[in-house]
């Protein structure tokens, strides 16, 4: 009997979580430009200007992710097999493309616009392309001057990326610097 009670205590919250996540996915499918097959959008995800967002197949967007744009024409395209973990802030004002098989770890901050030296000025878009098979570690900041993160690169946890990242490299630190070639 005790095992049955313990089992029920574990199963019911998991079922409730699953139902909330399914409802969240269907809710955002009504507003997003497109959502691919087998994509999951968990609860507490926010999209500003959702009709400019396209999400490919088999993507996972975890809880607390915030997609924001200060410009009406800002677009976001997530290709296939993209995983965005908990509490990521993702600004797509400048237009962002995230290619296949990219992992963005928790608490990452990505910006694609600038106000220059005047915080009251109109935002200036800065496009960003994250190429395929990139792994962005936890608590990384990607600044507005970054135009490209090369394929198969790895950005170490806590890095502050201020310039483009070459393909097949590992970068880290503040500001992020080349560490070594990825084999």
What average pLDDT does this structure show over 110-126? 89
Question: Is position 115 annotated as part of the catalytic site?
Answer: yes
Residue 69 is predicted with a pLDDT of 93
What average pLDDT does this structure show over 50-71? 94
Predicted TM-score (pTM) of this structure:
0.89
Q: Is the pLDDT of residue 153 over 70?
A: yes
Token pair for 89: 């802030």
Residue 106 is predicted with a pLDDT of 97
Residue 1 is predicted with a pLDDT of 67
- The catalytically annotated residue of 46, 115, 147, 181 is 115
Count the Cβ atoms, other than its own, within 10 Å of residue 5.
9
130 forms beta bridges with: 98, 149
Count the Cβ atoms, other than its own, within 10 Å of residue 32.
19
CA separation for the pair 100, 95 (Å, rounded): 17
Confidence of residue 14 (pLDDT cuts 50, 70, 90): confident
Residues 6+ positions from 182 with CB-CB distance below 8 Å: 152, 153, 154, 168, 169, 170
Mean pLDDT of the chain: 92
What average pLDDT does this structure show over 3-15? 78
């Amino acid at each position: 009997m005790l095992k049955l009670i313990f089992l029920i205590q574990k199963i019911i919250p998991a079922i409730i979580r699953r139902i909330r996540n399914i409802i969240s996915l269907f809710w955002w499918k009504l507003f997003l430009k497109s959502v691919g097959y087998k994509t999951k959008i968990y609860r507490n995800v926010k999209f500003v200007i959702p009709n400019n967002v396209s999400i490919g197949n088999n993507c996972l967007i975890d809880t607390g992710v915030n997609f924001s744009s200060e410009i009406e024409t800002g677009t976001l395209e997530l290709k296939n097999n993209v995983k965005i973990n908990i509490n990521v802030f993702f600004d797509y004002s400048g237009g962002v493309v995230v290619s296949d098989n990219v992992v963005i770890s928790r608490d990452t901050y990505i910006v694609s616009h600038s106000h220059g030296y005047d915080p009251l000025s109109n935002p200036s878009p800065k496009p960003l392309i994250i190429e395929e098979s990139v792994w962005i570690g936890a608590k990384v900041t990607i600044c507005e001057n970054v135009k490209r993160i090369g394929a198969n690169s790895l950005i170490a946890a806590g890095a502050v990326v201020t310039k483009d990242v070459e393909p097949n490299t590992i970068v880290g630190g503040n500001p992020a610097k080349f560490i070594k070639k990825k084999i």
